[in-house]
Amino acid sequence: MSKCERIAIIDYGVGNLFSVSKAFAQIGREAFVTSDAREIMKSSRVVLPGVGAFKNGMEKLTDAGLVHVVKEVADSGKPLLGICLGAQLLLEGSEEFGITSGLGLIKGKVIEIPNQSRTEHNIRVPHIGWNNLIYSGGISTTKRTILDSIPEKSMTYFVHSFMMSPDDAKNRLADVDYHGINIPAVIKSKNVSGTQFHPEKSGDIGLEILRNFCEF
């Protein structure tokens, strides 16, 4: 039987909730969508999904009264997974549409994908589509993380214009190369992990990543 008995997917008004819930169902895990603080705290694992702008996400999370709940989950030692915007919210703040404070669970901020490369290479922003994961050395091993047994160069699906920038390279579990720009794809600190990509939209690799989330 899976170690992952009960997964709460936090509903704060900006998440891709159905796709995330369906992905857990595909791997035979029980996941439920909720905005109830008590139900979230009673869960064995918690997912913070999200799409859209950082500022709106933090406003929605605050209006729902869930900022302190997410912080309590992190402090409790329970595995917490942020997806896309949810991963960005784990950091201390963002430069998107002005300076906005984040949850501060991992030191660092969210910044725009550098525009100088955008000019030189005529690259597309937002970064949309499939890209290869690179294990470039911040954390020396992926064992017992959400990337356990996931081969380097595995492809995952991205949709974003701003990127995570942790202060400490040790918090970068994997990157992707986007026209010469190393974009953090997976961040981690203790029991808190975040994926800039959407595992629920990343095929079998994404499902394996969610399965790992249930095991470690």
Domains of the chain: 7-215 (3.40.50.880)
pLDDT digits (tens, 9 = 90+) for 114-164: 866 555 566 778 889 999 999 976 556 798 999 999 999 999 999 999 999
**What pLDDT, on a 0 to 100 scale, did the predictor assign at position 24?**
97
Active site residue 198: yes
Of the residues 4, 96, 127, 198, which is catalytic?
A: 198
Residues of the chain under the 70 pLDDT cut:
1-4, 115-122, 137-140
**What pLDDT, on a 0 to 100 scale, did the predictor assign at position 118?**
52
**What pLDDT, on a 0 to 100 scale, did the predictor assign at position 1?**
38
**What pLDDT, on a 0 to 100 scale, did the predictor assign at position 2?**
47
- In sign, the C-alpha dihedral spanning 146, 149, 151, 154 is negative
**What pLDDT, on a 0 to 100 scale, did the predictor assign at position 180?**
85
The answer to whether 9 and 43 are in contact (CB under 8 A) is no
Active site residue 200: yes
**What pLDDT, on a 0 to 100 scale, did the predictor assign at position 37?**
97
Q: What is the dihedral of CA 135, 141, 216, 149, to 10 degrees?
A: 60
Active site residue 68: no
**What pLDDT, on a 0 to 100 scale, did the predictor assign at position 116?**
60
Of the residues 4, 127, 160, 200, which is catalytic?
A: 200
